[in-house]
Amino acid sequence: MSQPLKGLRVLDFSTLLPGPLASLILAEAGAEVIKIERPGRGDEMRSYVPRFGEDSVNFALLNRGKRSVAIDLKAAGAVDRLAPLIASADVVLEQFRPGVMDRLGLGYGALSAVNPRLIYCAITGYGQHGPRVDVAAHDLNFIAEAGMLGLSAGADGAPILPPALIADIAGGTYPAVLNILLALRERDRTGKGSRLDIAMADNVFTFMYWALGNAHAAGQWPQPGGELVTGGSPRYNIYRTRDDRFIGAAPLEDKFWATFCEVVGVPTEARDDARDPAATRACVAALIALDTADGWRARFEGREVCCSVVATLAEALASSHFAARGIFSRSLQGDGRAIAALPVPVDEAFRAPVLDAGYPALGEGNDLLAPGQGPS
């Protein structure tokens, strides 16, 4: 197959994670992505550590295969210098607080007047309207306010910091890509562009569908550690092994639960977990603690029990399964070195056959700007 987004041009005004990852996904599917950055420093993520070449590895991973234009958006004539790119763009992606792009002369109204076919996607924490639109916040704040963080709990009852930036990626990046593709499809039908309002905090609620269902339909507000997927069931839990490793056990369905109980040696009287879930969970925990992680791995091998030894990241990268899938087969080039490129959820059939690519130096694409006076 050919790349489905080949020939599309994306102007990316965003920084840090949600927007840059969204434009990376579009780039991997063939779009030309031009990153608009401030002169001198560029995207703040360039300054992070550890380094990979001249910039941070974080920046390099998220901006593979893009181009960079360095321009002071507040400078006189900046909009005029961007005019050729605006006229030729299919998508504009931005991540400023509401109203900032309008003040710069780059809001949807101004740009769509020049380019009516433009898809204009704004990613923000709280959306384009509402009482919290101007509040400074990050991923942790979004999941805290949406109630997701409150559903997690450690042994002391305090919420646990998740190891993933859920709101940024699941609430920002992925909905942005999804809606950009929907808008492009609508443009194919109508010939008109559109404005997209992607609010990260809003989109967190989708991931708590079961909790919302319990609350709205049955008046049962979920509690951390007390529900099916928050630790309340012995069939969906984490158990410590004899060597202080952990087993992620998810034998939810009865057929898997029956096999699990057989392998682990759960006594008949404890297998009815509906009668006393806490007692069954304690029984399973005591049994799992009798053997090592490798011992349980061997026992579970070939049995349908939906159980996994909790891997370290290093172990996951060494997995024969992920190696066979080839998800780290593409490389990121920089400073004479190469590391594995960031895997993205784009089918290989839609990606470029070239496996190696670099990331842009700040301002390397300034030849794309219209001529102007003074510094960019």
Q: Which residues are catalytic?
A: 138, 168
Which residues lie below 8 Å from residue 323, measured CB to CB, with a gap of 6+?
none
Q: What is the residue-wise DSSP string for 110-141?
A: HHHHH-TT-EEEEEESS-SSSTTTT----HHH
List, in sequence order, every residue forming a beta bridge with 55; answer none if it has no partner: 52
Location of structure tokens 């969204």: 22
Round to whole Å and give the CA distance between 299 and 242.
Answer: 14
Q: Which amino acid is at 28?
A: E
Question: If you ran DSSP here, which 8-state letter would residue 12 be given?
Answer: E
Q: Within 10 Å of residue 233's Cβ, how many Cβ atoms? A: 20
CA distance 152 to 162: 9
Q: How many CB atoms lie within 10 A of CB 161?
A: 10
What one-letter code names the amino acid at 159?
P
**Are the beta carbons of 20 and 62 closer than 8 angstroms?**
yes
DSSP state of 148: S
Give the closest residue to 61 by CA, choosing from 361, 329, 359. 359
Contacts of 182 (CB under 8 A, 6+ apart): none
Instruction: Give all strands (DSSP E) within the chain, no chain letters.
Output: 9-12, 32-37, 51-52, 55-56, 67-70, 91-94, 119-124, 194-199, 237-240, 246-249, 307-309, 331-334, 337-340, 356-357
- Distances in Å between the Cα of 313 and the Cα atoms of 244, 318, 319 are 17, 9, 10
- The structure tokens listed for 299 are 């026992």
Structure-block tokens of residue 110: 């101004």
Rg of the chain in Å (alpha carbons): 25
